[in-house]
Amino acid sequence: MSALYPEIEPYDHGLLDTGDGNLIYWEACGNLAGRPVLVLHGGPGSGCSTTARRYFDPDAYRIILFDQRNCGRSLPSAADPETDLSLNTTWHLVADMERLRACLGIHTWLLFGNSWGSTLALAYAETHPERVAAIVLSGVTTTRRSEINWLYRGMAPLFPEEWHRFRQAVSPGSQERDEDMVAAYHRLLNDPDPETRLKAARGWHDWEAASILLADPQGLPRRWADPAYLLTRARIITHYFSNGAWLEDAQLLKNAARLTGIPGILLQGRFDIEAPLVTAWELARAWPQSELNILAHAAHSTANPDMSAAIVAAIDRFRDI
């Protein structure tokens, strides 16, 4: 039996005008009078999903989801090469969250973030701790340099064949090919030629698929069949990671004292290759009010039954705060 709550449809949705040419799609589900909770999707650039609505008791929670800048139903889309991403940074997203909170008349809310969403949750909570009632994170990341380097070079010995293919998209002899694959793909994903961009987007996701399929042989996310989705997601990820997510290195861990007084639950799969356990462990040590729950048979995917059940159970604990 699924640990998730039944499927639910939004009772409200809209486009939040940021005032700088961006429109942020948001939706609200569940109980208008319930405890507000904000869902922060991964990627960056993955967009919110219908499954994420089901982690929350719809009778207890006012569930707010939004597509971060230039992905999902937010406009303009990063799939369009003419879309300027210079106004899409971690701190623009933090400002969007605060603007959305004020627009919806919410005083404080619970934050739930998975993968990149955990980085964004921490960035927001350390900036606006007075607005955060509690935090639940899964697949914990802080997007420091060592984490980015692990994803796009450190994992190479685990997947030599896939790494070889990943590097083939970059010209032989290129310095990027030996030093900075994120920068190389960022350049390819912004190439004037549409076929070059699409090939790079597919190559980027093929590399990511190696670790996903190892942990979940059932298959890849269905959205990955859409070329526009691949372009959007890859272009935003490389934009963020080539800029270190506009964070000083290890900034979120160094500033974890700002989370003092906020209760949190960190859910981490023992076999999470994409976000190794060390980051969650270090965050738990730096954040005394947090609780680290290591799932013995889970990896990075929230589709894992143990992980999805743990997310639901953790969120249920905060329904009455």
Residues identified as active-site: 115, 272, 300
Give 199's contacts (C-beta < 8 A, 6+ positions apart): 169, 188
Radius of gyration over every alpha carbon of the chain, rounded to an integer in angstroms? 19
- Report yes or no: 137 and 123 within 8 Å, Cβ to Cβ: no
* Tokens 């420091």 found at: 144
Task: Say how far apart CA 272 and CA 283 lie, in whole Å.
Answer: 16
CA distance 84 to 240: 13
Contact at 8 Å (CB) between 96 and 66? yes
Element spanning 233, H or E? helix 227-241
Helix (H, G, I), strand (E, B) or coil at 279: helix
Q: Which of 6-38 are b and which e, b meaning 16 or more Cβ less than 10 Å from the residue's Cβ?
A: eeeebeeebebebeeebebbbbbbbbeebbbbb
